[in-house]
Amino acid sequence: MITRNLTLSLDAMGGDNAPGMVVDGIGLALARMPHVNFLLYGDEKQLIPLLDKVPAVRSICQVRHTEDVVSNDEKAGAALRSGRNSSMRLAINAVHEGEAAGIVSAGNTGALMAMAKFVLKTLPGIDRPAIAKNFPTMQGDCIILDLGANVQCDADNLVQFAVMGEAYARKVLGIEQPSIGILNIGSEDVKGHEQLQQAAAMLQEINLPIRFHGFVEGDDITKGTVDVVVTDGFTGNIALKTAEGTARMFSNFLKEAMMNSLLSRTGALLAKKSLSKFKGRIDPRRYNGAMFLGLNGICIKSHGGADAFGFANALDVAVDLITDDLNDVIKEDLSHLDEMHPESLIKP
């Protein structure tokens, strides 16, 4: 693959630890992305002194000054109306205007989605963008979508999510023929919502090289039963946060246990290297960077509480999607879908 030079625009003021972690995150990522330049949208009075301390970062960043910031508690609609000069909005505009190939923000999720949708619009054939994320499984990573952009989804939406997730798993995760599952519950008589049945029927008929596994249950996510888990944004959000919470509780209990006695503390010391490898494997920061798929431009949401390490990972996600031309792949897949007869699965 030929490495193209590319530019990312960053909402340098979004996130609890911004703008410090944005500058430090670039510093951490820069060795693995020497071909990337950055447009930093934010308060130059804060940004310039930070950049001046790290010349290697300074040299690949251009600061675009604005004092407006979208706050975390601002409603999406209000942010859309009044945040026209915010660091978030200007960073998105840079993608729309072709100055940047993608945008990363650790700011307000609802505002970011609303602004990105408004400015970038959705890809042809996509009714609604979805929030997607990599997730660790016992067989490697999978991708789950939607994680909260759409509370209610109809069968068409779910099929579109499946197409986008499949494209991601194939191009970015490098899985030759990714398998796809729809998240559902197992009990025979309560077979889940009607739209899940409809979406499953559509995916069985689809004229794309999609390997549709069928329905999967909550525990199939970490089993790695499928590469792509499709769900509505309500269910996906609950599943993701429940998993994160369970992992955190597990970590806390383990830590308590290992600190419990002199013997266990000694054991923990001996196993330190293995335990830290284990910690790394489930480190949520490694999975930072939620993708807004289905937009006419690459937009990545970093966790609001991310540190520099996590933010650097979100930058990786943006670079991956751009380098692998994910949106072109999705567009091509959707155009094939559109040719389907007797009726199109995708609304005009």
Q: Of residues 246-275, which lie at the interface with a copy of itself (CB under 8 A)?
A: 246-250, 252-254, 256-258, 260-261, 263-264, 266-275
Own/partner pairs, 240-243, CB within 8 angstroms, 24+ separation = 240/133, 240/135, 240/144, 240/147, 243/135
For a copy of itself, the closer of residues 208 and 247 by Cβ is 247
Assess 71 for contact with a copy of itself (CB under 8 A).
Answer: no
> In this structure, what are the phi and psi dihedrals at residue 249, rounded to the nearest 5 degrees?
-60, -45
> What are the C-alpha distances in Å from 99 to residues 107, 188, 201, 273?
21, 52, 42, 44
Of 19 and 236, nearer to a copy of itself (C-beta) is 236
| Beta carbon nearer to a copy of itself, 185 or 201 | 185
Q: Name which position in 84, 282, 328, 335 contacts a copy of itself (CB under 8 A).
A: 282
Residues 177-216 that bind a copy of itself (CB under 8 A): 183, 185-193
Smallest gap, in angstroms, from Cβ of residue 264 to a copy of itself? Answer: 4
Contacts of residue 178, defined as CB under 8 A and 6 or more positions apart, other chains included, come to 165, 166, 169, 170, 211, 226, 227, 228
Q: What is the rounded distance in angstroms from the CA atom of residue 173 to the CA atom of residue 143?
A: 9
Alpha-carbon gap, residue 229 to 221, rounded angstroms: 7
Which residue in 124, 131, 135, 129 sits closest to 146, CA to CA?
131
Q: Least distance to a copy of itself from the beta carbon of 188, Å?
A: 5
Member of 125, 148, 165, 181 binding a copy of itself (CB under 8 A): 148
Compute the least distance from the CB of residue 254 to a copy of itself, in Å: 6
Choosing from 240, 295, 318, 334, the residue that interacts with a copy of itself (CB under 8 A) is: 240
**Closest CB to a copy of itself among residues 273, 341:** 273
The smaller minimum CB distance to a copy of itself, of residues 118 and 253, is found at 253
Helices (H) and strands (E) in the chain, counts: 14, 11
- Write down the least CB distance from residue 109 to a copy of itself, Å: 6
Count residues near a copy of itself (CB under 8 A). 73
Q: Which backbone phi and psi does 132 adopt, to 5 degrees?
A: -125, 150
Residue from 9, 134, 237, 327 binding a copy of itself (CB under 8 A)? 237
Residues of span 216-235 touching a copy of itself by CB under 8 A: 217-223, 233-235
104: β partners: 10, 300
Quote the least distance from Cβ 80 to a copy of itself, whole Å.
10
CA gap 114, 47 in Å, rounded? 26
Write the CA distances from 238 to 7, 130, 246, 260, 305, integer angstroms: 34, 15, 12, 33, 19
Per CB under 8 A, contacts with a copy of itself among 297-336 are none
Q: How far is the CB of 300 from a copy of itself (least distance, A)?
A: 17
